[in-house]
Chains A and B, each alone.
Chain A
């Protein structure tokens, strides 16, 4: 089946530094990928929609200059958390539509801890 690979699975960084998270579709082409954030005991919150070759569409309240999204190829989207702060600590998850197969496939998530 369709697989989305997300790396790293966890990362600890210092406050003020930037962190890049990669999301790859391994066996299918994903023209659209989605980035979510999930705080403990809460549901997933959509941050942005990433479109190959064009600018991402951000949800209301998500800072585009802080959460940089690049979708340069049909199999890779990246999320960079810039100037990270402790409040950015969260579980970040990407997903891609596999509409030809019916559903959406999710990465395994990245646990970001900012200290």
Chain B
């Protein structure tokens, strides 16, 4: 499975944008980039995913580098409820489709 690298932790202020980076230099052409987040004592929650083009949804935006070796999850206006561990995961288009979690980025939001 192709690996991803994320900073262990990040901190931001409420109502400011947050850019969470993810490096995936060994990504293959059929790997989708998925982002999930996990609040304390809860199961992970799907945030967004993409393949090549940038993606937007009601929760966040995903910016994918042209060479696909890195991506950035963008929270446009962070709230205290966005404090969580964010996981960037590559998902092979074919195969067992299992998600392999890395350590993720623990995001702290300051009021």
Contacts and interface: CB of A to CB of B under 8 A. Distances in A.
Nearest to B99: A104
B101 A104 contact: no
A6 B100 contact: no
A109 B42 contact: yes
Counting contact residues on chain A (CB < 8 A from B), the size range is 20 to 34
B102 A95 contact: no
Nearest to B100: A46
A2 B100 CA distance: 21
B99 A43 contact: no
Interface stretch (B9-17, B19-27, B44-52, B68-76): B44-52
A69 to B, nearest CB: 14
A109 B43 CA distance: 5
Contacts, number: 54
B46 to A, nearest CB: 4
B103 interface: yes
Given A102-B49, A106-B43, A109-B42, A44 B97 contact: no
The 3 closest A-B pairs by CB, nearest first: A106-B43, A103-B46, A44-B101
Given A46-B98, A46-B100, A99-B97, 18 more contacts: A4-B43, A6-B43, A36-B101, A43-B101, A43-B102, A43-B104, A45-B101, A49-B96, A57-B96, A95-B44, A95-B99, A103-B34, A104-B34, A105-B46, A107-B43, A108-B42, A109-B41, A109-B43
Interface of B: 34, 36, 38, 41-46, 49, 87, 96-104
30 contacts: A4-B43, A34-B98, A36-B101, A43-B87, A43-B102, A43-B104, A44-B101, A45-B101, A46-B98, A46-B100, A46-B101, A49-B98, A57-B96, A95-B43, A95-B99, A97-B97, A99-B97, A103-B34, A103-B36, A103-B46, A104-B34, A104-B36, A105-B46, A106-B36, A106-B43, A106-B46, A107-B43, A108-B43, A109-B41, A109-B43
Interface of A: 4, 6, 32, 34, 36, 43-46, 49, 57, 91, 93-95, 97, 99, 102-109, 111
